[in-house]
Structure 1
Amino acid sequence: MISTLNPVTSSDSNSHTDIIVVGGGVVGALLCQALLHAKLGLHITLVTTNATHTAVYADDIRALALSHHTLSQLEAMGIDINFIKSYIEQIHISDRGHIGQTRLTAREQGVDALGYVTQISVLEHVISQALDASSVAGQLTLIEQAECIDINTDNDVAKVCLLDNGKQIHGRAIILADGQVSRLKNTIGIGSEVTDYGQQGVVAMVGVDRYGPARYQQPLTAFERFTENGPLALLPVSLPTESKAVPNRSNEHIKQYYSLVWCTHEQHATELMALTHEAFLQALQDEFGDRAGRFAYLSTRQSFPLKLTRHDDTHSPVLCIGNAAQALHPIAGQGFNLAVRDIADLVTSVKSLSTLSDLGSVAHWQDVRLRRKGDRNIVISATNALLYGFSNNHCLLSSARTKGLTALHLAKPLKTWLARMAMGYR
């Protein structure tokens, strides 16, 4: 992911560093950028299993919803936020087959946007550029195409990361940003609690050639549609010219592109993946109605299992952040936003240390975990409440949902609370 930094080769001798970051995805790279931008004088080593010379706009059809607060935090971490091209001015929430619905608008909250949307590959490229600019000679070491296979620790101030190429890295602190599933967490005894939702997420880019009703104010509306099989979300996306998500840029008849996340039970997901493009678009139209417009474009599709995974690093010598700490259901689009708050709190805690030797202190990292626990629990509980409350067709719950959405539409304080949650403020 990091395009111009000089990587360490396998011939380099064993090294010493202040902080070892394991995982070179968007969260691990952003953590390095935030620490460097804070100008703490730390040396950071980033270990990634991937080669870092990726295309600017890789063939990745997934998108991220960035909350209003997240964009402010990214800017505070030294990220040039001018890469944002897609704004969410309102969120329309509806329940299929029922009259309950509501809209959250930026105007009601006195902001320019409730949130923003970007392709993951675009954000990776922007973070890469920021890292290149922030890296002072000798402060960041990149070790690519290497895997951390074990961690040894004898005391609070010395930890050793063992790589699969035989190299050892000695550091004061080790932070895992290696995603939801990794052999390393199993090896060092970090347990996990997994809730299998019995659902698959089907993701794709879709496009409409005709807008829906004018009241939805395309192209700045995000849609959340609840059904008995699971929720669907559409995020408005302005795709860069180089994007491979839409290989044929001659689709001039397409008025607006959306990132689609269709959460449904496993059998239905299998059926959706097997449909022709035309049949899939018709199924989406039937499920969604005309509020987003007439669907006329579909990219390639991908599917993945939906699970809540919580990793318990309480008694571990390392700290987990992002999906390495908690991987959420995408119904509320809060996974990356939560990871950014993980990073912000972590950097704040490091700034508060009186000496570098405290970086390895068990007490220090326990304090970081406690600071993050409340936020994580709130987001996980809210996500589960949305999922279980809206992803079924029980008559009592259906009636309660209709009344709840109607009350939400009419009750300004409740809408303000929900909007602020969506914007990333607690």
Structure 2
Amino acid sequence: MPISPSFDLAICGAGPVGMALAALLVRRGANAIKPAGIALLDARSIEQARRDPRTIALSYGSRQILEEAGAWPVAATPIHEIHVSRRGRFGRSLMDRAEHGVDALGYVARYGDVVAVLADECARLGLTTLRPALVTGSMEDADGVTVPLEQDGVVTDLRARLLVQAEGGLFGQQADRAVSRDYGQSAIIAWVKVNAPIAHRAYERFTDDGPLALLPQDDGYALVWCVPPTRAEQLLSQGDSAFLACLGEAFGGRLGHFTHATARLAYPLGLNAQAAGTARSVAIGNAAQTLHPVAGQGLNLGLRDAAVLARVLAQDSSPAGLIQYANLRQFDRNATVRVTDTMARIFTGSSPAQSALGLSLGLLDIVSPARKGLAQLMMYGRR
């Protein structure tokens, strides 16, 4: 089997998290790892990645990370306000950018647009990107890691001193990790329009079926609607008119009537987390933790993983650096997983906790420190 060149660092997964890590390492002037020593590996071609229409929610903290990586501005719709409420209950909370002194609480972008900016920056920095390249496994020894790659039907072995796994996939495609929970829900995603939009305001609406999020994007909204799988099948099989009527009934009339919906997709929801690595490998982003989308923290937590790992490897690119990274990320990762998991389990169905949710949201809006604390979590995570 042919042997390809050796690298200091191989990053499996050239998505936003993997490319952000690579760009941050170079831009921080890492002494231990040079641009020529970093290899980005991905199964998709760059053309496929650039065309990916999925919507992603970027926190303000993620914007700061992308700015440092040289990957901002990105075509995105800013979120100025976040409206949180419980369907059919009194009480709500409204978070506003002015209260926090920022341009936006977050941003709504297309996956392909974020990838395109990062890919251009990685190319400008002189990073090696191998795509499409299918990683078929890894073998670790005392000196490094061997990564078998398949490109155009040819298998080669790539060698690296350290390996970062940054490609996690969807919950339904993953093997169970140390902390795993099937929420018994599916997320329906689509892009919708209404006849009475409120510019730059995002909505998180808790219903008996599960959370329903509307994120402002262009002249409409990106929809993430969490429902039981059988309900998801029904909604996917409906025509547009029937679907929009059901959506309007679930969300309410705060934005008038829903008038348009694109083709709808659904994927299963669950928690799958495991921070453990090996002496010469580490997982970040979705490869380390797959979360429920209730608070929109999945990608943002992954970008924080990348930022901290880049900072550590810039100073120490040995196995000891990976241990230091794991210790530094433990608090933020565990807290975010715990908060997201609690919200996903409590804010679904008609449990006693749900009955008190409306009152809690009303109190949250009155108690400024609590509201600010929630906004800080959504913008920056647990630092």
TM-score (norm 2): 0.92
Match status 1:71 vs 2:63? yes
Q: What is the aligned counterpart of 1:386 among 327, 343, 368?
A: 343
Aligned to 2:327: 370
Aligned-residue sequence identity (percent) comes to 31
User: In the TM superposition, what are the counterparts of 1:239-388 in structure 2 within 5 Å?
Assistant: 256-315=219-278, 317-353=280-316, 359-361=317-319, 363-388=320-345
> Bigger shift: 83-92 or 319-328?
83-92
Is residue 273–residue 301 contact of structure 1 (8 Å, CA) maintained in 2?
yes
Deviation at 1:224, TM superposition (A): 0.4
User: In the TM superposition, what are the counterparts of 1:117-128 in structure 2 within 5 Å?
Assistant: 117-128=108-119
Residue identity opposite 2:161 in structure 1? R
Aligned to 1:110: 101
Match status 1:134 vs 2:125? yes
- Distance, in Å, in 2 between the alignment partners of 1:332 and 1:170 is 38
Deviation at 1:27, TM superposition (A): 2.0
Is residue 84–residue 116 contact of structure 1 (8 Å, CA) maintained in 2?
no
Q: Which has the larger radius of gyration?
A: 1
SS in 2 for 1:178: coil
Residue identity opposite 2:190 in structure 1? A
Aligned to 1:201: 187
Is residue 191–residue 312 contact of structure 1 (8 Å, CA) maintained in 2?
no
Q: What is the aligned counterpart of 2:10 among 3, 15, 20?
A: 20
Q: Deviations over 1:138-182 (max 9, x none)?
A: xx2222232222322221x32211224331111110101121369
- Distance, in Å, in 1 between the alignment partners of 2:327 and 2:55 is 30
TM-score (norm 1): 0.83
Residue identity opposite 2:264 in structure 1? R
Match status 1:100 vs 2:94? no
Q: What is the aligned counterpart of 1:49 among 43, 65, 84?
A: 43
Aligned to 2:134: 147
SS in 2 for 1:104: strand
Q: What is the aligned counterpart of 2:365 among 409, 420, 423?
A: 409
Deviation at 1:91, TM superposition (A): 0.5
> Bigger shift: 289-298 or 140-149?
140-149
Deviation at 1:59, TM superposition (A): 5.3
Is residue 104–residue 415 contact of structure 1 (8 Å, CA) maintained in 2?
yes
Aligned to 1:253: none
SS in 1 for 2:338: helix
Deviation at 1:53, TM superposition (A): 2.6
Aligned to 1:356: none
Residue identity opposite 1:227 in structure 2? T
Residue identity opposite 2:288 in structure 1? A
- Distance, in Å, in 2 between the alignment partners of 1:423 and 1:150 is 35
Q: Deviations over 1:368-388 (max 9, x none)?
A: 111111111111111122122
CA separation of 1:25 and 1:110: change in aligned 2, threshold 3 A: closer
Is residue 181–residue 324 contact of structure 1 (8 Å, CA) maintained in 2?
no
SS in 1 for 2:322: helix
Q: What is the aligned counterpart of 2:156 among 137, 154, 167?
A: 167
Residue identity opposite 1:229 in structure 2? D
> Bigger shift: 161-170 or 13-22?
161-170
Is residue 180–residue 325 contact of structure 1 (8 Å, CA) maintained in 2?
no
RMSD: 2.2
Deviation at 1:290, TM superposition (A): 1.4
Query: Unpaired segments of 5 or more residues in structure 2?
Result: none
Is residue 115–residue 423 contact of structure 1 (8 Å, CA) maintained in 2?
yes
CA separation of 1:48 and 1:220: change in aligned 2, threshold 3 A: same
Query: Unpaired segments of 5 or more residues in structure 1?
Result: 1-9, 212-217, 239-255, 354-358
